[in-house]
Structure 1
Amino acid sequence: MHPILKDIRLVAFDLDGTLVDSVPDLAAAVDRVLGELGLPPAGEAKVTAWVGNGSFTLVERALADALGESPGAQALDAGHRRFLYYYGQDPGSRTRLYPGVREGLDDLKAAGLLLALVTNKPYAFIEPIMEQFGLERHFALALGGDSLERKKPDPAPLLHVAAYFDVPPSACLMVGDSRHDIAAGRAAGFRTLAVPYGYNHGEPVQDSRPDGLVDSLAELV
């Protein structure tokens, strides 16, 4: 076992940028929304920097970038609805599992640890992506960005997971790729572990001072 797992009973994982590279599908949906409005496409590089705070904020950032100003509430709501429609049509055909993820999850589950998924992605999109990669059996609980009133970096989702399984936060680990994951974990009293290959708005996740860092989830066990 990796030293960071000492006395850990529950591991919560982020999804986008941690388990899967979903930017190609997210960017495709964003660009279809922009195209409907006669706006130039954002492309994957920009979308990579915008991912992490949920779909509504993603669309808000895309519209603001294309328009050169903040979109009005009505335009933003309409754009978000169209994004959900387009993304819902194809949430996973371009999405890829990061190397080492399957091995890491298999080993952690075999070791008897509880695994949970805590993402800011809308809940409706979690199941099809997990089923695509055959990972749904690994997680005893999954929370999306709309599952509770608050989402990461608020600690509420992580505290909910700990309470659900009756595991003290001190025996829980949050694994993610962004400062939002580390902030949520720290605020919840979880140990924190980062992976450096994700998105994190173009910033090194090490700057958020996680308790640990691994290049691959396969290193955990």
Structure 2
Amino acid sequence: MTIDNKKLLIFDFDGTLIDSVPDLADAANIMLSQLGKPTYPIDTIKEWVGNGARMLVERALSGSVEIDPNLSEKDVIAAEHLFFKAYSTHDTSKTAAYPDVDLGLQQLIDAGFTLALVTNKPIRFVPDILMSLSWTSHFAMVLGGDSLSVKKPDPAPLLHVCETLAFDPKQAFMIGDSINDIQAGKRANIDTIGLSYGYNYGKDIRDSQPDYAFDNFKELLDCLLK
């Protein structure tokens, strides 16, 4: 890996730095129960995560990664309201950093990298999670899925980070666990790093052809810090 000119590391959040599926699954199942619909095991819901809250709600209502075309906008909005309420009031203590991430982020900062966070999670939920992990000061910039008018896989959030922080895209890596992260990076002409342990709809992240791929965060650290 050639990292001599890389100074900016743009990270995804869920499935990359944190394992949040247990809490997302709880909120989705609370929503479904309130609607009188069947609930689903965590391994099923895990494959629905990655495109933002609205898509997760639509997939939960459909009971499939493929969204039911007969879903009405009115029903989805009502269900999304229940999901947000459940997620914001439910004890989210199951969300945790993946191994080596907590120390690793500080090591990257100490090594001179600038860190940014671009997630498709609604921005309202991000600050509290960062605070709970003592990561608030780690990131020079944080964007949620609704911070701009578009979200990943659109390249705009990544380009916005580069422009705001005054980095050329060639100086950046996009690091994530999902095809959305890899596609966003490619469309922004930013080199991509795929992590295989997260949420990618049951598919190997290498199928998305990132520039580099690792199976755990320590492998990523070893390459960036060597």
TM value normalised by structure 1: 0.95
Cα offset for 1:4? 4.3
Residues 91 and 128 of structure 1 are in contact (CA less than 8 Å); yes or no, is this contact kept in structure 2?
Answer: no
Counterpart in the other structure of 1:106:
106
Letter in 2 for 1:134: S
* Correspondence 1:21 to 2:19: yes
Q: CA deviation at 1:60?
A: 0.4
Distance 1:167 1:186 in 2: 16
Structure (1 or 2) with the greater helix fraction? 1
Partner residue, 2:118: 118
Q: 1:26·1:91 contact (CA, 8 Å) conserved in 2?
A: no
Q: Distance in 1 between matches of 2:206 and 2:17?
A: 18
Who is 2:193 aligned against? 193
Aligned to 2:165: 165
What does residue 79 of structure 1 align with? 79
Matched, 1:216 2:219: no
Q: Give 1:214 deviation, angstroms.
A: 2.0
Q: What is the match of residue 203 of structure 2?
A: 203
The percent of aligned pairs where both chains have the same amino acid is 44
Shift of 1:216: 2.7
Asked whether 1:50 is paired with 2:48, we answer yes
- Aligned-pair distance for 1:200? 0.3
The runs of 5 or more residues in structure 1 that have no matched partner are none
Question: Structure 2: how far apart are the matches of 1:111 and 1:171?
Answer: 15
Instruction: Give the structure 2 partner of residue 144 of structure 1.
Output: 144
Check if 1:7 corresponds to 2:24.
Answer: no
Contact map agreement 1:173 1:191 (CA 8 A) in 2: yes
Q: Which residue of 1 aligns with 2:178?
A: 178
Quick one: distance in 2 between partners of 1:37 and 1:90?
17
* 2: CA distance, partners of 1:206 / 1:146: 27
Q: Choose 39-48 or 118-127, whichever is displaced more.
A: 39-48
| TM-score, reference length from structure 2 | 0.93
Q: Distance in 2 between matches of 1:110 and 1:90?
A: 35
SS at match of 2:63: helix
- List runs of 5+ in structure 2 lacking aligned partners: none
2:91 and 2:189 map into 1 onto residues whose CA distance is 33
Deviation sequence 1:141-183 (CA, Å, 0-9, x none): 1000000000000000000000001110011100000111000
d(CA) in 2 for partners of 1:10, 1:85: 35
* Aligned residues: CA RMSD: 1.4
Letter in 1 for 2:81: R
